[in-house]
Amino acid sequence: MARAYRGQERVLLCIDDSEAILAYEKSLFEGSGFSVVTAASARQGLKIATTSTFDAVLLDYQMPDMNGHEVAVELRRVRPETLVIMFSGSEIPEETQKLVDAVIPKAGEVRELLPVVTRLCDRSSPA
């Protein structure tokens, strides 16, 4: 089933304080042809994002050192061209929803994660 999403290789940065979520994201996206880099904290993710280029950043909202809104603001400042997708179990404030390219709830909509990220990456790629 995941093979249907295969196409041009995309590079994805996943930032989440849950090792289990990072392992899930890595398995899901690498199985569909993405190259995946993970970061277990917001600060680590920002450091990686400022030194490398990614097609998209998949970001949790509720993290101990910085919340997803703060990370998204900084990502927009240093890498405005990068897609930012919030994948979170928390309620996402409207201000944050306007800042990111998509919001995907962890509960209930998890099956939408791969198709939404793939669709956004395909749409943002040069024709």
Q: Distance between CA atoms of 73 and 59, rounded to whole angstroms? A: 12
DSSP helix/strand/coil, 92: coil
Query: How far is 19 from 72, CA to CA, in rounded Å?
Result: 20
Strand pairing partners for 38? 14
Closest CA to 53 of 80, 32, 29: 80
At the topology level of CATH, where does 6-16+28-35+42-122 sit? Rossmann fold (3.40.50)
- For residue 50, give both structure tokens: 């400022």
Would you say the pTM of this structure is higher than 0.85? yes
pLDDT tier at 99 (50, 70, 90 boundaries)? very high
What confidence tier does 74 reach under pLDDT thresholds 50, 70, 90? very high
Written as one letter, the residue type at 120 is L
